[in-house]
Structures are given as C-alpha cells and as structure tokens.
A and B are shown apart, each in its own frame.
Chain A
Amino acid sequence: AQSVTQLGSHVSVSEGALVLLRCNYSSSVPPYLFWYVQYPNQGLQLLLKYTSAATLVKGINGFEAEFKKSETSFHLTKPSAHMSDAAEYFCAVRTAKNNNDMRFGAGTRLTVKP
C-alpha cells in the first residue's frame, strides 16, 4: 500500500529564509502527490498537487514542490518564509490502484521566527 513519510515533525526558520519541508513516498504504482496546509482550528487547504504532468509543481502562496522519482521524494519549498506561513503541513499520496484512499503523513509544524 502507498504511504508517505515526513521527515521532521517540527521545522523552524527565520522570516525571509528558505523553507524546506521533506516528504518521501512509497508506492508500487505511479503516485499522485499532494501538499496541504492546516492553520490552527481549521481544515486543510490544498497548496499544490502532482498528477504526472510537470515534475516541478507551483502552488499557492509562493510554494512549490519537485517530484523526484529516483529519490521517491516530493519536498515542499518556498524561497522566503513569511510569518503567515506558520502552520502544520501535510504531504499525502493517492494511487490509481486505491484512488479512494488518500494517505497522509504525520505532518510538519513550521514555525517562523521574526
């Protein structure tokens, strides 16, 4: 079955610094990959998704992620962190084999220091 692993439950960066949140996936078939953000006491909001088109995916709020099949990774980056980026970030995977079952990682909490 497919799964994702998010490396680092907490990441802290300074405002203006690079944000890098790591996600590795496991899947025996071509995956569809998603990054969601969750602000306190809210639901999940889609940042971006990979659906086998371009390997570099651009999302909202200046985030992007690159699908690397050789490394089974889908890391999320943003060149310059903003205070409003502080939130919980979840990586998720779905496959055509189990298209009704989206598997989420445990999440990474991003803190942005002034």
Chain B
Amino acid sequence: ETGVTQSPTHLIKTRGQQVTLRCSSQSGHNTVSWYQQALGQGPQFIFQYYREEENGRGNFPPRFSGLQFPNYSSELNVNALELDDSALYLCASSLGQGVEETQYFGPGTRLLVL
C-alpha cells in the first residue's frame, strides 16, 4: 500500500509568483486536507476536499486555492506569493471526512519565497 506522496520536496520562488504543489492520496482515500506549517509552529488548516468538492476552509485568503481530481490526487495553488508564505506545506488523506477519521500525512513540500 502506497502512502501519501507530495511533490516537489523543495521549491524556491520569488515574491509575486505562482506555485502549484501536488499530493497523491493513500490508496482508497477520498478526502484530502492541506496544512501550512511555518517554522517552529504547528500545522494550520488551509482547506479540505472530499470527492472533488471543497469541504471546509481555514483562515486563508482566496489566493490559496485547490483542486481534487477523480483519482483523488490533489493540488494546492498559491497566487501572488508573499514572503510569509514560506513554510512546509503538508497534505493529509483519509478514508472519509468524518471527525474521527485518521489523517495520514505526506512528507511535505518546503516552499521558500524570496
């Protein structure tokens, strides 16, 4: 069974650019959540997708957007990058959207915005 994978592992962008991060869910999982983890802090919820529809969103501006595909893989897009967007971006997949469901995390993409 393949776990959650993310690409790329590291990325360097400049302020104002756009970035796309990718996540491949664990086999059989139809729900994916994205988190931003700034240095020295806990992860913060960005949004969740369930069966290709956005299913909840944290306190992030609209320039953070996402997609979930029929195979349940997912993308996180960030437009107009700011210096504060530098962080580790984590995706997590789960069997469903239930509150008791375990979320399985990928290794993350580390984004540096210069």
Contact = CB atoms under 8 A, between A and B. Distances in A.
The answer to whether A binds B is yes
A103 B102 contact: no
Nearest to A98: B56
B61 interface: no
B60 to A, nearest CB: 12
Contact of B99 (A41, A45, A95): A95
Interface stretch (A12-20, A67-75, A79-87, A104-112): A104-112
A43 B105 contact: yes
Interface string A31-72: 010001000011111100101000000000000000000000
A49 B102 contact: yes
A88 B6 CA distance: 21
Contacts of B21: none
A52 B60 CA distance: 30
A90 B5 CA distance: 21
Given A44-B90, A102-B45, A107-B42, A94 B99 contact: yes
Contacts of A106: 40-42
B86 interface: no
24 contacts: A42-B107, A43-B92, A43-B106, A43-B108, A44-B90, A46-B103, A49-B100, A49-B102, A51-B100, A95-B99, A98-B56, A99-B98, A99-B99, A100-B45, A100-B48, A100-B55, A100-B56, A100-B97, A101-B58, A102-B33, A104-B42, A105-B42, A107-B40, A107-B42
A94 B48 CA distance: 14
Contacts of B58: 101
A100 B105 contact: no
B105 A101 contact: no
Given A43-B90, A100-B56, A101-B58, 15 more contacts: A36-B105, A43-B92, A43-B105, A44-B105, A46-B102, A49-B102, A99-B98, A100-B48, A100-B97, A101-B45, A102-B45, A103-B45, A104-B35, A106-B41, A107-B40
